[in-house]
């Protein structure tokens, strides 16, 4: 009996070959440019009669992290979807300097019948013996990346100690960069308006709303302002003329995220450049921010809109929680009252036992304790930072603004 072998479909067609490269926008005229690499790979692939060109994928990001390399992730997705059978890469370090990632994606591609060929090292993952060599060289590439990262970090630290820094493309609203120095520009009025409103008591949402009504726009996007942007601005020392270098822990060379447990030193340069706001306004704004942080630590969360003058200032002398304003009903109708936030969490009898204060009664007692002839809401907001209400009915002003 004569047996005729029928070749599988994948043996009848050419091998679909793609290429991956990492490029630098600073090397457009050199051999590293995407255009030149694309032409090279197109020519190289098309000259092989058994190959079919399946595209060139490229990124401008670091090779240690996959998260921000869109070209790499698109290439992997296309290959797993059956759009490529083979991938060419100049070297393992271009594929990934993270040894774990390199092995993971090579194995993932291999499980879907896609091989990777690293030209510089001459490693072809279609060969089973290549995986051990790949692991070794990938580990070397990762260590090289770590060494480069540490050298760059050392150079930054030395420059910061000398008070030197590079603005780069880190433009900031309200400033232009002239000969390496920050100079206030036509948007400086926005910064002054933000700080003026903030120290006068407006919250982030109110300030953003007013700025948008006045036609102010953010620099990079051209969009209107939101509360989170205002919050960042009022805490930025650049606007008073200072500069803090190394504000947060340096990035981990693999994750590209700040290393929470890495020791680092911040450097503060006072009067580094011309400020948009005066020092007194800056210090008033920072005092308000400090008070907000203290309130958050005590469980006081400010939201949009106006708050009662007691909000964030009245605290429980039993458990330390903030007092909240509530509407209660009595024999003569509804009335306003203040009670410990933890009191209402104790329906089973485990809540705070501190008493409930009628608002009118609380105002009278505060006036007496403070020694005021009349209770002045504006004066209270201006002068009093914290009051403690004891379980025995005693009121103790703990701190003054």
The band of 77, judged by pLDDT with boundaries at 50, 70 and 90, is very high
Position 76 pLDDT exceeds 70: yes
| 260: phi then psi, degrees, rounded to nearest 5 | -60, -30
- 160 Cβ partners below 8 Å, 6+ apart? 245, 246, 267
CATH top-level class of 9-143: alpha beta
Cβ(241)–Cβ(275) below 8 Å? yes
Position 75 pLDDT exceeds 70: yes
Mean residue pLDDT of the chain comes to 77
> Which pLDDT belongs to residue 253?
44
Q: What is the pTM of this model?
A: 0.46
Instruction: Give the distance from CA 103 to its chain's centroid.
Output: 29
Instruction: Please tell me the least confidently modeled range out of 16-25, 82-91, 128-137, 319-328.
Output: 128-137
End-to-end Cα, the chain, rounded Å: 103
Helix H, strand E, coil C: the string for 263-327 is CCCCEEECCCCCCCCCHHHHHHHHHHHHHHHHHHHCCCCCCCCCCCCCCCCEEECCCCCEEEEEE
Q: What is the mean pLDDT of residues 198-211?
A: 89
Most confident of 105-119, 170-184, 262-276, 333-347: 105-119
Instruction: Please tell me the least confidently modeled range out of 98-102, 337-341, 351-355.
Output: 98-102
Position 156 pLDDT exceeds 80: no
**C-alpha–C-alpha distance, residues 329 and 311, integer Å:** 21
Position 203 pLDDT exceeds 80: yes
Position 263 pLDDT exceeds 80: no
Domain ranges of the chain: 9-143, 175-297, 314-400
Q: What is the mean pLDDT of residues 141-149?
A: 57
Position 207 pLDDT exceeds 50: yes
According to CATH, the topology of domain 175-297 is Hect, E3 ligase catalytic domain fold (3.90.1750)
Most confident of 42-56, 263-277, 320-334: 42-56
Count of CB atoms within 10 A of residue 231's CB? 17
């Amino acid at each position: 009996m004569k047996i005729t072998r029928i070749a599988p479909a994948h043996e009848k067609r050419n091998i679909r070959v793609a290429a991956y490269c990492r490029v630098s926008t600073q090397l457009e005229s050199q051999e590293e440019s995407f255009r030149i690499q694309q032409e090279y790979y197109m020519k190289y692939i098309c000259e092989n009669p058994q190959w079919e060109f399946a595209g060139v994928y490229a990124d401008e990001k670091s090779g240690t992290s996959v998260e921000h390399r869109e070209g790499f992730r698109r290439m992997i997705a296309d290959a797993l979807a059956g759009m490529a059978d083979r991938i060419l890469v100049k070297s393992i370090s271009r594929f990934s300097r993270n040894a774990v990632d390199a092995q993971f994606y090579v194995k993932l591609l291999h499980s879907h019948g896609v091989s990777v060929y690293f030209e510089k090292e001459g490693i072809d993952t279609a060969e089973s013996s290549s995986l051990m060599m790949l692991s070794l060289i990938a580990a070397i590439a990762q260590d090289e990346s770590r060494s480069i990262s540490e050298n760059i970090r050392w150079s930054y630290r030395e420059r910061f100690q000398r008070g030197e820094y590079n603005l780069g493309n880190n433009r900031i609203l309200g400033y232009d960069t002239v000969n390496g120095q920050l100079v206030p520009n036509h948007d400086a009025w926005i910064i002054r308006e933000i700080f003026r409103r903030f120290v006068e008591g407006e919250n982030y949402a109110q300030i953003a709303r007013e700025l948008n009504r006045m036609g102010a726009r953010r620099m990079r996007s051209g969009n209107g302002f939101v509360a989170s942007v205002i919050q960042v601005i009022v805490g930025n020392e650049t606007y008073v003329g200072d500069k803090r270098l190394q504000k947060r822990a340096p990035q981990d060379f693999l994750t590209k995220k700040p290393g929470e447990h890495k020791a680092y030193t911040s450097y503060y340069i006072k009067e580094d450049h011309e400020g948009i706001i005066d020092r007194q306004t800056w210090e008033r704004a920072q005092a308000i921010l400090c008070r907000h942080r203290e309130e958050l630590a005590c469980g006081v969360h400010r939201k949009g809109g106006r708050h009662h003058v007691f909000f964030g200032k009245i605290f429980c002398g039993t458990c330390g929680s903030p007092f909240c304003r509530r509407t209660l009903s009595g024999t003569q109708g509804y009335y306003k009252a203040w009670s410990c936030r933890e009191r209402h969490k104790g329906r089973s009898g485990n809540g705070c036992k501190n008493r409930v204060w009628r608002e009118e009664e609380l105002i009278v007692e505060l006036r007496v304790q403070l020694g005021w002839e009349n209770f002045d809401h504006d004066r209270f907001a201006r002068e009093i930072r914290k009051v403690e209400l004891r379980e025995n009915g005693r009121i103790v002003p703990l701190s003054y603004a």
